[in-house]
Amino acid sequence: MNRPTVSSTPVLRTTLLWSAAATAGLAVIGALVGWAVGGVDGLWSALVAVVLAAVFLGFTGASILIANRWYGDPLYVPIFFGLVMGAWLLKFVLFIVVLLSLRDQPWLNGPVFFVALVASVLVSLAIDVVVMLKMRIPHVSDVTLPTAEEVAEGAADRPARDDTARED
């Protein structure tokens, strides 16, 4: 069965691709700066923060792309919101668990980890903004308007109005 696509799919794919490229760049920069500031512990702290941010920020876009596969299905709306909200809940719980497990690690350089995590989130948000501003999506998308023939057929099926027979 050939289902229609959602207009947000190219936007999300572009965002995920740009985010992957930015993650690679941030990993290199974070590793170099982390190593310069905190040695090997700083290097690993920066890499873990960048990868953590990339994985958890990619959860949302990936969950929407997966949910969009059911577009056109009568159950699309509950499937969409179930998948997206489930991914958000999973992401939130996993993020807390990961942070709690990393909290007492002797190799973790806290300031390097924090700066790398915040930098990764800010870069991801900037990518989201740039992609949204650059993409060309019509204001009314994913809607099929009736053709002239369908409108004419619908008008032929309705009885004509008689405006001359008014009761006063």
User: pLDDT by residue (tens digit) across 84-94?
Assistant: 899 999 989 99
Q: Could you tell me if residue 79 is inside a domain? A: yes
Scanning 68-109, the segments in alpha helix (DSSP H) are: 76-102
Q: What is the pLDDT of residue 26?
A: 94
Mean pLDDT (whole number) for 91-98: 92
Task: Tell me if 67 is assigned to some domain.
Answer: yes
15-34 confidence digits (pLDDT tens): 889 999 999 999 999 999 99
Residue type, 61: G
What local confidence, expressed as pLDDT, does residue 15 receive?
Answer: 87
pLDDT, position 162: 58
User: How many CB atoms sit inside 10 A of residue 17's CB?
Assistant: 12
CB 118, CB 52: distance < 8 Å: no
> Which are the contacts of 40, defined by CB distance < 8 A and separation ≥ 6?
107
Q: How many domains does the chain have?
A: 1
Indicate whether 39 belongs to any domain.
Answer: yes
Domain that holds residue 67: 8-135
Residue 27 lies in a domain: yes
- What one-character DSSP code corresponds to residue 81? H
In angstroms, rounded to a whole number, what is the distance separating the alpha carbons of residues 127 and 23?
A: 11
Whether 161 is in a domain gets the answer no
* DSSP-based three-state secondary structure for 138: coil
pLDDT for res 22 = 93
pLDDT digit string, tens, across residues 101-152: 998 899 999 999 999 999 999 998 898 888 878 777 666 656 677 788 877 7
Cα separation, 70 vs 76, whole angstroms:
5
Contact present, 49 and 29 (Cβ < 8 Å): no
At 15 the three-state DSSP class reads helix
Return the closest-CA partner of residue 61 out of 12, 123, 26: 12
Retrieve residue 156's tokens.
């032929």
**Any domain includes 164:** no
- Asked if residue 2 belongs to a domain, the reply is no
In a domain, residue 159? The reply is no
Identify which has the larger pLDDT, 124 or 7. 124
